[in-house]
Each structure stands twice: as C-alpha cells, then as structure tokens.
Amino acid sequence: MRGREQTRRRFLQAAGIGAVASLAGASGCFGTQGQPSAGKERGTTKELNAENAENAEKELDTKFKTKNYGLNSAVSASSAVKKFEIQNPKFQIRKMRRFELGLASYTLRKFKLDETLAMTKRVGLKYICLKDFHLPLDSTQAEIKAVAAKVRNAGLRLYGGGVISMKSEAEVHRAFDYAKAAGMKVIVGVPAPKLLTLVNKKVQQYDIKVAIHNHGPGDKNYPTPASAYERIKDLDKRIGLCNDIGHTQRAGMDPSESAERFADRLLDVHIKDVSAATAKGRGVEVGRGVIDIPKFLRTLLKINYSGVVAFEYEKDADDPLGRPGRIRRLRQGSPGSHCACSQIVNRTQ
C-alpha cells in the first residue's frame, strides 16, 4: 500500500480521537499496519476511541517531559504536530497545519552566524528570525544582502528580524530599510507607542508586517499581548502581535487564551517554557516549566494560525542544544556530533 493511502486510512480509522491524537501522531494508538493495537478488540468503538485519545494525550505530554532537554528535545516534541488532523471525524474532514517551526536567533546569541545557521539546520528547523547579534542593524545594504544570501544558501528562510527596538523616527526608518534589504516578511519589534502612527505609514509603504513583542512584567509599554493589542487595534492589520508565551505566562496570563483572544492579529510566536507564572519566572527546558505546551499547540491549530512558531530558548546560552560537549564538537567540526533528537525531527516532519 502506498504511503499516502496508508496514512489516510490510519487517520480515517482514528475517527473519534480528534486533535489530541493528531498532535501525538496517533503513534500510540495503532500498530504498524494501521490496525488497532493488540489487546483492544474486546472493547466497543466508543471505548476504544476514548482509550486511544487518552493514550495519545499521554504520549504527547510525554514528548514534553523528555530526558534529553534543551532546544533539540523541544523541537523534537513540537514536531509531533502533524500536517493534518481529524477536525470532524463524523464527516472525515481533514485540516491542514498551517504554521511552521522556526528559530529566534537570540537563542544562539553566543555563536557566530555560520555556527547559528549550522545549528539551526542541525535540529531540523527551516525558518529563522535574526537578532542583531547575527545581522547588525547598522549594516550596509550590501552587507545585509550578503547575509540574506548566506541564509538562503544554507537552505534556511530568513522570515524576519528582531526583536528590534524603535525609540526614534530614525530607528523606525532604519528597521524598515533593514528588513526590505534582507527580504524579511516581518519585523518583530518594540516601537515606542508615540511612533505607532509612523510605523503604520511604513507598513503601508513597504508591505512588511510588524509583530509587537511583549516582554512581561517590567515592560511599561507592552507587558502582555493584551496591552499591545489595545494600542494597535485600530491600525493597519499588518501591525500585530508576537506572542512571547514565556513573558505572557510570567505576566499571569494563559498563553493559549491570549492566542485565541487576539487570533486576528497574531503574526508571530516565541515559544518557550518558564519556571513560574510570576515576574520571578525564568526560562527552563520545555516541559519542565508551568506552561501547558500541548494546549498551546492545539490552540494554534484551532485558530488556524499560519505564521511561524519560533523557538527562543534563553537558558544555557553556552550550550542551548542541551548535550554537554555537543556544541564544542560542532564548533570544532568533530564527526558524530549530530544529535539523535535531530534525526527524530526529520522522521516526524
């Protein structure tokens, strides 16, 4: 049986399991030939579906409580979100996953551009948003275009830049010229509120989106997506939100509820986990904090989010891939440094 047809039949046999099973890939519910796993023949269809759904959700949660921590395992776990799900099992309606996984290069702030591109590919990501560590804002047009070409040649897509602060009119103009030269589709930015009228004009002039990034407690202008939304709701719809779910949680808001509430202006996502839902919360490995990551991913499917979900892992800046010595061997070009988690990502995409 051809692979596509086999996949189709397995998902149709999963009618009643719903989105939870699709997020887990339904791998815990079926055998290798697409039949119910051994030992389940005695139950009714309703009982089997309930049991399969429960197993699928447990498997998904397990992916976020892995032993191999750091960016590698986070990417591997999130890649469990398959390309389609059963949206309405009764009528066999399939729904495409529209969002892509990427990297906010702040994660690799201790590494040079070439290393950053290599490490991004190593964990199986294809989209990248460059911070000025890797593409300085004061670069010339020629330098910006050269970096953009290097990203393309590495097989990656430079979809955005940021986080970019804009405190003056000159900085607003520079940010848009920078993004245009690089071919970026979105600026992940923090424009001063007084400059939003100018930002609105530049968005219309350049047709480049601006996703305002919330920074949680302590941010006087945009602590939460809600505070940013209030400032931009009457502006061009290409001015939207970058929901940093770590900072959203630290501000006491549920990231899933926030994403759903402001779905019409959600342009970018920074995904991470934090230790506490307070200002004292700090970045931790995905699955070891307080954010309900599976719930958040299900919410993105529900709202038809079609942007990029960018990993921004702020802990362990010297070794963000989470394996002692792995980064050192990569930098030295040592063979055998390709992590098994990267292979898992490749198999699940």
95/188 Cα distance (integer angstroms)? 28
Q: pLDDT per position in the chain (349 positions), as tens?
A: 555 455 444 433 332 223 333 333 333 332 333 333 333 334 444 444 445 445 544 554 554 444 445 666 566 555 555 444 444 555 444 555 689 999 999 999 999 999 999 999 999 999 999 999 999 999 999 999 999 999 999 999 999 999 999 999 999 999 999 999 999 999 999 999 999 999 999 999 999 999 999 999 999 999 999 999 999 999 999 999 999 999 999 999 999 999 999 999 999 999 999 999 999 999 999 889 999 999 999 999 999 999 999 999 999 999 888 754 333 333 344 333 333 233 323 333 3
Report CA 150 to chain centroid distance, whole Å. Answer: 23
Q: What is the pLDDT of residue 30?
A: 28
18/11 Cα distance (integer angstroms)? 10
Give the bridge partners for 268, in sequence order.
Answer: 242, 308
CB 75 within 8 A of CB 123: yes
Q: What is the pLDDT of residue 181?
A: 98
224/228 Cα distance (integer angstroms)? 7
324/326 Cα distance (integer angstroms)? 6
With CA atoms as reference, report the closest residue to 76 among 19, 123, 29, 119.
123
Return the domain boundaries, the chain. Answer: 3-95, 98-317
| φ, ψ dihedrals at 9, nearest 5° | -65, -40
| φ, ψ dihedrals at 332, nearest 5° | -90, -5
Q: What is the pLDDT of residue 281?
A: 95
Q: What is the pLDDT of residue 106?
A: 96
Q: CATH classification of 98-317, choosing from 3.20.20.150, 3.10.580.10, 3.40.50.10860, 3.40.50.300?
A: 3.20.20.150
Q: For residues 192-208, b (16+ Cβ closer than 10 Å) or e, as one string?
A: beebbebbbebbeebeb
Summarised one tens digit per residue, pLDDT across range 164-206 is 999 999 999 999 999 999 999 999 999 999 999 999 999 999 9
**Can you point out the beta strands (E) in 197-300?**
209-213, 239-244, 266-271, 273-274, 283-284
With CA atoms as reference, report the closest residue to 115 among 284, 318, 285.
318
Measuring CA to CA, how many Å separate 109 from each of 71, 72, 136, 182, 247? 14, 16, 12, 19, 19
255/82 Cα distance (integer angstroms)? 21
